[in-house]
Structure 1
C-alpha cells in the first residue's frame, strides 16, 4: 500500500521462534514486538483480568514504531531470553503504542515526570493489578552499570518487593494516584474571565525573546526542536505590532529560525521534508525520524513566512514538504501515514540497523556518483566539487563526535547548506543560475541512488489528529500559493477521514486506521474512539479547507464535529475539555491538556476553533465557551505563557475581534478569483474568509442571514470586510480590498 517504497525489512533470519498476542494487532509498533520471547498483551481487559486473577504486577511498556531508544531496549532486553523469562514469570506484560492510545500514555507519563523529573520513550511503568502506578522510568539498560541498576535487576527487585510488601506497595500506589489526580486538576469558577491579553501576549514574547539563540535561531541552545507553535505566535504578535521594534524582533526571530532550519541538516536536502529535531545547536545533525505532525505544521509555518515576507525561499520549502508527504507518506485511499523511522539497514545484507544510514553520505560516494565536469567552470571542476563545497562535505565526515556517541556516523556527512548559491558561484566562477542547475542535478542523482538503499521502516498507521494537521498544511499552502492540486489533495484526505474514520451513526471520529490489501483500509484490532486532539485538529483543518475551496460540506461537517466534541469532552463544572471521554474505566485520570509540545494542545486549538466557528455559524455562545476554556488555564498563562503559545493565540483571537471577509460573486469568475487571491496574498491573523455566491438555499446563507443583504456592485465581484456586526463599504478592486485588510 505504501506509495513511498518498502519498509526496509531486515534480512530474513528464518522462522520466528516466538509469537505472542501482539501478532493479532494492526499497530506497526505492537507488531514489531510480536515475536519477542516476552508474553506481551495489548492494553485491554484480558491482561487486566490475568493480573487480578494471578495477583501479579503489571509491567507497562509504552513507545512508538519510529522511536530509536524503543528499538534499542527491545534489542537489548525484550529479545533477551533470560530477561523475557523473568518478565513472564513475575509480571503481566502490556505493550502500548502511544500514538494509538495517547490517553493511556499521558496518564502514566504524568506519573513518570512527576516522580523522576523527566520523561520520554520507551516509557517503563510498573502497576498494581488495579492499574495504579508505583515505579516508573524510561529506557533501562539490560545490566547494571554506570551507578544505575539494569533492567534485569529492577525486574527482580520489584518482583521480590511485591512478594514481601504487597500491602505497602498498594498503599503507596493509592497515595500516588490521589496526588496525581489533585495535581493535574484544572478548572475555573463560573464568571472567571481570561487573563488580560496585552499583558499575556507581551510576557509570551519576552520569554521567547529571552530564550532565543541569535546565531542559528531556535529557542534553546541544544537540542533544537522546530516548535511551529512559536512561529504561529510570533507571526501574530508581529501583525499586531508591525511598526514597533518588538514586532520587528518577533518577525526576525521567526524568519531567521525558519531559514536556518531549512538550510540545516534537519531538512532532508535529497529526499525532502524535515527530520524530528536537531541534536546540536546548529540544526545540523538530526534525529532522523520524520513525523507527519512536523510536516503538516511546518508547511503552514513556511507558507505564512512566504505570505509575510514575499521571499520565495519560504514558498519553495513549503512545496518541498508537500512533495515529500505526497510521495512518501500518502496512502492510495487518501490518508496520510504517521512517520518514517530514524534507523535503517546500511546495506541490503546488514542485520543491524543504524540511525541515519538512509540519509548520510561519504565524500568518496559523492565523488563517484558526481564525476561530471561542470561546463563553463575552471578546468577540472566537477559536479562533485560544487556539491561538496556547497553542502559542507568532508573526507573525514562533517559530524561532530559529540553528536555521534555510538560512532554510527563516523566518516559520514549530513548535508547542510554552507554557502549561498551566489558565494558558491563566485568560488567556481559560474553564473548563479548555473550553480542552481548543477546543485539540482546533483540532488536528483543522489535521490535516485538513495532510492536503492534499504528504506527506513514506515509507520503506516493513519491518525485522525495528524491527518488533520496535514490537511491544514495542504489547504493553507494551496490557497496562498495558488496551487489547486494541494487543495484537491487536502479534500481527498478529508474525504478519507469521513469515509474511514468517522462513524456517521454515532457522529464520532475514530483515532486510527491502517492500510490493508490493495486499496482497503482496516480498523485497529480494537477500534479506539477519537480523543480531543483528533476532533480539534480535524475541525481546524475543515475550516482551512473550506477557506481554500469554498465547499460548504467541510464547514457543515466541522460544525457537527464541534457539537460532538462538546458532548464528549467538555467539563461543564470546571470548564475546558478533557483529553478523553469518560467511557473507558481503565484510564484512571481524565486529564486536561494545556501545554504545547511537538503538537499543539488540543484545548488551545479548540479555543481558537470556537472563535472561528462562532463567526461561520452565528454562534456567539461559542465565543463565551472559548473564554471559559482559556480562563481555566489562567495560572499558567500568567506565569509561563511560552509553554502554551497556542493558547495565547486563542486569547488574542478573543481580544481582537475577527474580521469576516466576504467575497460576493461566482467562484470561478475571474473577478472573484482576483479578490480571493488578494485575501490569500496577505497575512491577516484575525480573519475568516467566506464566499457568498448568491445561493440563498445554501448552508451559509441559512446560518448567516446577513449574507443575503450583500450585493454585487456594478455587476462585479464585490468584497465586504465585516467586524462587530457592521460591514465596510463594498469594494471591487484588489487594491481597495488590500487597504481594508491591512488596516
Structure 2
C-alpha cells in the first residue's frame, strides 16, 4: 500500500491555486495567495519534471505565528508570487497532515543549517531530494538572514547555471539523511533489564534540572511532560525527596506561569523565557493531552488539590474550545488574533480596572497586573511563584467569569478543525488516566463516546486514516496514529472488559507489524511507502510528541499480558533494547521510552475484578494508586479463553485478583483488602 495512491491532488489552473480543494485549515489559509500553490503529491513532482523546475516545498501549520508573518510579507506579495510561479513549482504542506514529509525535510534543513523550525522552506529536485533551504526569511535582509527574494534569485540562478552542483548536493544531502536514519542507537537486548542503567538515567535527569524554575533547560522552555510522567512513576519505586520536590515545583511553576491560561485553562505550547512567563500563545491538543496525563498521574500519586485544579482546567478548556460536535477533538488554536500574537489573551491595566471595578485591586495583585504590563505594554496573567502570597477574594469566581466572558467577545484565534487520530489517541488516553485518578464516571463515558466516533469516521473499509476534517478522511494513518489508538483501545478494554476494544487493538497492531516494520532494523518506520520521499523515515525520539515506536512498545507489553503470546513480549524487548543507548545518552528526549522500559525494571500489577459487579469494583480499586497497573473487569464468561482472566468469573460473588512480579495473591473481596495486598505484595 502507498500513501500517495489514496490521496487525490488536482493540478492547478492558471487562475487559482489548488489549495481551494484542500480540507486542511492551514492549506485553506493560503488558497487565496497569488502563489500557484500545489498540494503535496505525485502531480506536483510530475509537473516539476515537465517544466524542468525545482520544487519549493513550504511547510507549516495553522497555529504557527511566523508562518502567518511570512505569508503576509511574501506569499501575499504579487511581485514575489510572480517570481515564485515563474521559477518554481510551489508546494504547500500542513506538517500536521503529513508529519513524515515534514520530518524528512526538517532533517535535511537541520543538516544544512544546524537548526530547524517553521515555516520550513526547502528547495527540492523532481525526484524529491532537497538541495538547500531554511526556515523564515524576511522581505528585506535582517535577523542575520538574507531576504526571501535574494534566496529565490540565488536558487533560481544555481538551478539554471550550476545544475550539476545542485544535483550532486541533492544526492549528498539525501544520502546524509538516509544515513542518519539508518544509524540508530542500539545495544544488546539483555542490557535493558539490568536495572543499573535506569538509576544512571534517573540521576542524569536530575543533574540537568532547573532548580529555580522547575523543568529542564533555559529559553525557549518546553514542558517535559513525558519525562515528568516517568519521574512520577519512578519515584514511587525509588523514593527521593529531591525528585519529588522538583516534579512538584515544575508542576506548580507551570500552573502559576503565563504558559497556563489563568482564565480559561489549557497550556500554551512553550515559553520564550526560562521562567514560564511569556508563552508562544498557540494551544495544541497534543500538549494539553500530555500535560493532562501528567497532572492526572501527579494527582493520583499525591492527591494535591492544585493538580486536580489543573486537570479540571485542561478538560474545561478542551471541552469548551476544541471539542468537535460529531465527536473527537480539534487540533489547535492559533497564536494570533487580529493579526497580533497573543492579542486574545493579554490585558491592559485599564481593561482590568474597567471590567472589575472594586475587585480589580486584589485581582491585579493576584495576577501580577501592572500599568506598564509585562509584555508589549499589556499583561500576561500569572501568579506569584509557589510559596509567595497571592491575595484572593470571595468574589474571585465571579471576577474570573466576567473577564472570561469579556474575552470571549474579542476576535478569537483561528481554530484548526482537523481531527487527528494520533493526537486524539493521546488526549483520550489522558482522559482515561484522569478518570482513574478522579473516578469521575463522566470521563470514562466521554472517552468511550469520542473513541467510538473516531473509529466510525477514521477507520473506513479496513483502512485507518490520519485526518478527519470537514466530513472527509484524508491521508492513510501513520505509525503514530496506530500506536496512540492501540494504546487507547487497550486501556478501554482494561476499564470496561468489552472485548470489542481488544479485538480492534489487536487488528491494528497486526497491521502495524505487517506494514511499518523494517527487516533491517528493530524499529518501525513512521509511515507507509511514498515514491516522492527518497527516504522512509522513523522518528525515534520523544520530542514534542511521543515516538510511535515508544507507544507501540508499551502496547506490545500490554498485549503480552492480556494474550500470553510471547511474540508481543519479544517485540517489547526488541524495541526498548534498540533505544537503550538513546535513553542513556539523551533521557530528556526519551520520556516515553523510559516509561516503556519501566516494566523491565519494576513489577507490573495485574488487577482483575471478576463477578457481576466487576466494573464498579474496579472503579473503587482505582482509589489505590500504583504506577504500573494493567486492569481488567470480567463481568461474564466471554473472556474465559484469555489467559489474563481464565477461571476467575463466579456468578455469585465479585472478587479481586492481584498478581505482581510473576506471583499471585489469594483473591479478596474488598478494596481495603486489595489496598493491603498492593502495599505488601
Q: TM-score range by the shorter chain?
A: over 0.9
Indicate whether 1:547 and 2:494 are aligned. yes
Query: 2:577 is matched with which residue?
Result: 631
1:436–1:237 Cα change, 3 Å: farther
Query: 1:432 is matched with which residue?
Result: none
TM-score by length of 2: 0.94
Work out the CA distance in 2 between the residues paired with 1:191 and 1:440: 57
CA shift for structure 1 position 200: 2.8
1:705–1:69 Cα change, 3 Å: closer
Work out the CA distance in 2 between the residues paired with 1:626 and 1:423: 48
Work out the CA distance in 1 between the residues paired with 2:676 and 2:519: 43
CA shift for structure 1 position 424: 4.5
Work out the CA distance in 2 between the residues paired with 1:182 and 1:423: 55
The counterpart of 1:417, out of the listed 383, 388, 397, is 383
1:56–1:734 Cα change, 3 Å: same
SS for the counterpart of 1:553 is helix
CA shift for structure 1 position 575: 1.5
Work out the CA distance in 1 between the residues paired with 2:144 and 2:102: 28
Equivalent positions of 1:615-630 (< 5 A) are 615-630=561-576
Query: 1:71 is matched with which residue?
Result: 68
Work out the CA distance in 1 between the residues paired with 2:243 and 2:668: 32
Indicate whether 1:484 and 2:441 are aligned. yes
Indicate whether 1:385 and 2:371 are aligned. no
Query: 1:403 is matched with which residue?
Result: none
The alignment's C-alpha RMSD in Å is 2.1
Indicate whether 1:687 and 2:629 are aligned. yes
Query: 2:179 is matched with which residue?
Result: 182
Query: 2:8 is matched with which residue?
Result: none
Cα pair 1:224 1:277 within 8 Å, conserved: yes
CA shift for structure 1 position 196: 4.5
Work out the CA distance in 1 between the residues paired with 2:144 and 2:659: 66
Compare 411-420 and 702-711 and name the one that shifted more.
702-711
Query: 2:275 is matched with which residue?
Result: 282
Indicate whether 1:123 and 2:120 are aligned. yes
SS for the counterpart of 1:416 is coil
Cα pair 1:337 1:460 within 8 Å, conserved: yes
Equivalent positions of 1:13-28 (< 5 A) are 19-28=16-25
SS for the counterpart of 1:167 is helix
Query: 2:308 is matched with which residue?
Result: 315
SS for the counterpart of 1:707 is coil
Work out the CA distance in 2 between the residues paired with 1:138 and 1:67: 12
Work out the CA distance in 1 between the residues paired with 2:143 and 2:539: 36
Cα pair 1:59 1:91 within 8 Å, conserved: yes
Compare 586-595 and 73-82 and name the one that shifted more.
586-595
The counterpart of 1:354, out of the listed 325, 328, 340, is 340
Cα pair 1:533 1:602 within 8 Å, conserved: yes
CA shift for structure 1 position 491: 1.0
Per-residue CA deviations over 1:116-147 (Å, capped at 9, x if unaligned) read 11111100100112111110211111222355
Work out the CA distance in 1 between the residues paired with 2:598 and 2:199: 11
CA shift for structure 1 position 639: 2.4
Indicate whether 1:91 and 2:88 are aligned. yes
Per-residue CA deviations over 1:58-77 (Å, capped at 9, x if unaligned) read 11100001101100111111
Query: 2:356 is matched with which residue?
Result: 370
The counterpart of 1:560, out of the listed 499, 507, 511, is 507
Cα pair 1:603 1:629 within 8 Å, conserved: yes
TM-score by length of 1: 0.86
Work out the CA distance in 1 between the residues paired with 2:182 and 2:92: 28
CA shift for structure 1 position 545: 2.6
Query: 1:529 is matched with which residue?
Result: 476
Cα pair 1:692 1:707 within 8 Å, conserved: no
CA shift for structure 1 position 705: 6.6
Cα pair 2:556 2:571 within 8 Å, conserved: yes
Per-residue CA deviations over 1:360-387 (Å, capped at 9, x if unaligned) read 111111111111xxxxxxxxxx211111
Equivalent positions of 1:558-597 (< 5 A) are 558-582=505-529, 584-597=530-543
Cα pair 2:384 2:390 within 8 Å, conserved: no
Q: Which consecutive unaligned segments of at least 5 residues does structure 1 have?
A: 1-16, 346-352, 372-381, 400-409, 426-434, 516-520
Q: Which consecutive unaligned segments of at least 5 residues does structure 2 have?
A: 1-13
1:420–1:225 Cα change, 3 Å: closer
1:642–1:226 Cα change, 3 Å: closer
